[in-house]
Copies of this chain bind each other. A is one copy, B any other.
Amino acid sequence: MVICLLNQHELNRTTINTIKNMSDKSKELFASIKLVNDRLNFHGIVEGCEPVSIDYTPPLGDNLGYTSLELLLLSLSSCLGTALLTFLRKMGKTITDFKIDSHGIRKEMHPTGFSKINLKIIILSPDVTDLDMKKIIQLSEETYCPVFAMVKGNVDIETTFEVRREA
């Protein structure tokens, strides 16, 4: 009975890790940040992923990683990308290349979050039409992109797209 050899602290940690290992990501998610210098550099940690370096800009931080707001742009754009690609594949479309560029404009007064986010989707495909894109962007923004739903009403988001036939 290995568990008997653990002290209370280790026991708590073991229990937490067991819960995390068993967790169903469709229901709940876990993440941690840990300060790694004497300024504002954190390591972001999720089980099974390489740690991601997070930092703030000078003079408070040292530009040693992503800012919190850049992570928000990646969260939002990857959420939209996941929904769009899932729809397109269900429709039997061929996707040769796919990217989303995001650009966030910050408010001047605190809290200095984004007043506006521009998302530009660039897709390379022989058969995706502009009408397909319009439909699935609307569906994603209204229902199938959870990160959109979490910032809805607080940030103005403009989504544009470009379907290319050739690289």
Contacts and interface: CB of A to CB of B under 8 A. Distances in A.
Interface of A: 25-35, 40, 42, 44, 46, 48-50, 52-54, 56-57, 60-61, 63, 65-79, 81-82, 85-86, 95, 97-107, 110-114, 143-155
Contact residues of A: prevailing secondary structure: mixed
16 contacts: A29-B70, A29-B106, A33-B74, A49-B66, A52-B52, A52-B74, A60-B82, A61-B82, A68-B82, A68-B146, A69-B147, A75-B75, A111-B144, A111-B145, A111-B149, A114-B150
Contact of A46 (B49, B60, B66, B81): B66
Given A40-B85, A85-B35, A149-B111, A102 B30 contact: yes
A78 B154 contact: no
A111 B148 contact: yes
Copies of this chain present: 2
